[in-house]
Structure 1
Amino acid sequence: MVTAPDYPSVPAEKLAGWELVEESVETLFQLPAVRVVGATRQYEDEQLRTAVRDASDGEIDHRWRFFAATRLGFDPMLPPGTMPSMILPTMRSEAKKTFKKRLQSRGVEDIERGRRERVRIRSGKRARLIRYNGVDPVAGGVPVTGWVGVWNDGTDFFVVTGGYPARPLSEALDLEESADGLDRTGNEAQGEFLDMLRDVQ
């Protein structure tokens, strides 16, 4: 049995307002001769949740933004000489399936796959990201965006996912207040997500 992978980390300064809601180590999927194990940390934006709850006089209490980082391990270990490029396509395929199911479990509807992007992370490697668009049915429907990114930093494989409202919640929920992130645009939320993703290690 391979030693479980270490949990990935995100710099503390990037997590202001976020809450670690779950840590888990579990088998993510099975390849023909290898079991893929993931050590995952999941975060929720509690600051935004509180802001919406306060601005709606307690009528809307919902988790709006999430971020999750996973470091992968293999049982048994990958054979010597296995190149990341040999298994990254399989990692991406499985990550996409799992992420779509996660969006569905959060209640997101009308999920459609969007564009792909490549982002350079702090190590200098590139992560390939795939965007998903959907609708969170809470309060009549709020458009949301989700991303799943997969990469190898030369040693470890990582999967990072995240999701956020695609419109300012002050507009989508018709809230008068715009403090504490209620006026955050989809582009601003995307920038914050990518900034966190780049620092995962």
Structure 2
Amino acid sequence: MDENTGARPTRTTRRRLLAGGAAVGVAGLAGCLGGRDGPVPAPEVTSDRIDDWRRTDESERAVFAESYGPVTVQALEHTRVFEYAPVADALVDTVDADGSPVVFFATRIDLRPAVDRLPAEIGRDRILSRVETAATDAFHGQLRSAGIENVEIADEGISTVRSGHTATVWRLTAEYAVDGAVSLPTGSTTGVEGLLEVGARLGVWHDGTDVIVAGGAYPTEPLLAVFEESLPNSVDAERAVTELTDAETAETLAADPAAYDEDVSQLLISVV
């Protein structure tokens, strides 16, 4: 998918509202250990590709607080969650799904006191390893919240993000269950259910001040595949979806999943 092409979504999903008022404030914990004062700044996704994604949640919380001898280290995070709007809307319009297999997350984790201010015996690598574990656990939890289950690590490597820093990057596999019903041209209704194979990418890096965590998930096969498997052989899935909703929805469900993989990859490396 070209970064400068693609129509922006015009519909809104009735179930998805920005939960800005639900954020858990951590400002009361700020500044007491020699780190940054005030709340953790939000992570920013700088790629233009984010224009087709809708922010669905934003939160701040304490990831952990652990004592290392005389020093207590706190990790505070600010997270933003996005979904690819056309897919989320298409699933609501066809099977009234609550969730989406095309999602993206960006998190900034502030360590207090700052890593470089910790006593030498505590160790930068030790702390960052603890943060990395907490970040990957949180990412798995975010995927589960989106209806994506059975997450497994496929491989691990390193990559350079746009800010010039080196990230540890994981590729993961998972599954997303589609479960609903659609109306057929005959006037009857039939169930649509099945498991979509899902791919995911997760990156973690230290930008010199904070730990940045970014990643997302996407189907590795067209979403319409589940419809094709569920509908009677005499019913063309794309035509049935077009008649039920519109051609745009059918086209979205039939889209090449490689475009979602490219989006997630480019969004990941653009987070600052």
Shorter-chain TM-score: what band?
Answer: 0.7 to 0.9
Q: SS of the counterpart of 2:100?
A: coil
Q: 1: CA distance between counterparts of 2:140 and 2:220?
A: 17
1:50-97 alpha-carbon deviations (Å, 9 max, x no partner)? 23445xxx3243423111111111234445267754532222212222
Q: SS of the counterpart of 1:87?
A: helix
Q: 2: CA distance between counterparts of 1:182 and 1:29?
A: 42
92, 95, 99: which one pairs with 1:59?
Answer: 95
Moved more, 110-119 or 37-46: 110-119
Moved more, 149-158 or 95-104: 95-104
Query: What residue number does 1:179 align with?
Result: 251
Q: SS of the counterpart of 2:128?
A: helix
Correspondence list, 1:112-131, <5 A: 112-131=152-171
- Contact residue 47 and residue 266 of structure 2 kept, 8 A: no
Amino acid at match of 2:149: E
Gaps of 5+ in 1: none
Q: 1: CA distance between counterparts of 2:153 and 2:162?
A: 26
Q: Over aligned residue pairs, what C-alpha RMSD do you find? A: 2.4
Amino acid at match of 1:23: E
Query: What residue number does 2:81 align with?
Result: 42
Q: 2: CA distance between counterparts of 1:22 and 1:109?
A: 20
Q: 2: CA distance between counterparts of 1:154 and 1:63?
A: 34
Gaps of 5+ in 2: 1-29, 32-37, 179-192, 229-236, 239-246
Amino acid at match of 1:59: V
Using a 3 Å threshold, how does the CA distance of structure 1 residues 137 and 20 change in structure 2: closer, same or farther?
same
Counting matched residue pairs gives 197
Q: SS of the counterpart of 2:44?
A: coil
Moved more, 96-105 or 81-90: 81-90
- Contact residue 40 and residue 109 of structure 2 kept, 8 A: yes
Kindly, what percent of the aligned residue pairs are identical? 25
Q: 2: CA distance between counterparts of 1:196 and 1:183?
A: 19
Query: What residue number does 2:108 align with?
Result: 71
Moved more, 80-89 or 136-145: 80-89
Offset of residue 156 of structure 1: 2.3
Larger radius of gyration: 2
Query: What residue number does 2:129 align with?
Result: 89
Offset of residue 12 of structure 1: 6.3
Q: 2: CA distance between counterparts of 1:80 and 1:53?
A: 49
- Contact residue 52 and residue 182 of structure 1 kept, 8 A: no
- Contact residue 162 and residue 193 of structure 1 kept, 8 A: yes
Query: What residue number does 2:138 align with?
Result: 98
Q: 2: CA distance between counterparts of 1:69 and 1:116?
A: 19
Q: SS of the counterpart of 1:179?
A: helix
TM-score of the aligned structures, taking structure 1 as reference length: 0.84
- Contact residue 147 and residue 163 of structure 1 kept, 8 A: yes
Using a 3 Å threshold, how does the CA distance of structure 1 residues 168 and 193 change in structure 2: closer, same or farther?
same
* 1:199 aligns to 2:257 (yes or no): no
Amino acid at match of 1:19: R
Q: SS of the counterpart of 2:172?
A: strand
Using a 3 Å threshold, how does the CA distance of structure 1 residues 65 and 96 change in structure 2: closer, same or farther?
same
Using a 3 Å threshold, how does the CA distance of structure 1 residues 102 and 133 change in structure 2: closer, same or farther?
same
Using a 3 Å threshold, how does the CA distance of structure 1 residues 173 and 86 change in structure 2: closer, same or farther?
same
Q: 1: CA distance between counterparts of 2:76 and 2:91?
A: 36
* 1:133 aligns to 2:200 (yes or no): no
Using a 3 Å threshold, how does the CA distance of structure 1 residues 172 and 118 change in structure 2: closer, same or farther?
farther
Q: SS of the counterpart of 1:127?
A: strand
Q: SS of the counterpart of 1:34?
A: strand
Offset of residue 195 of structure 1: 0.5
Q: SS of the counterpart of 2:95?
A: coil
TM-score of the aligned structures, taking structure 2 as reference length: 0.64
Offset of residue 194 of structure 1: 1.2
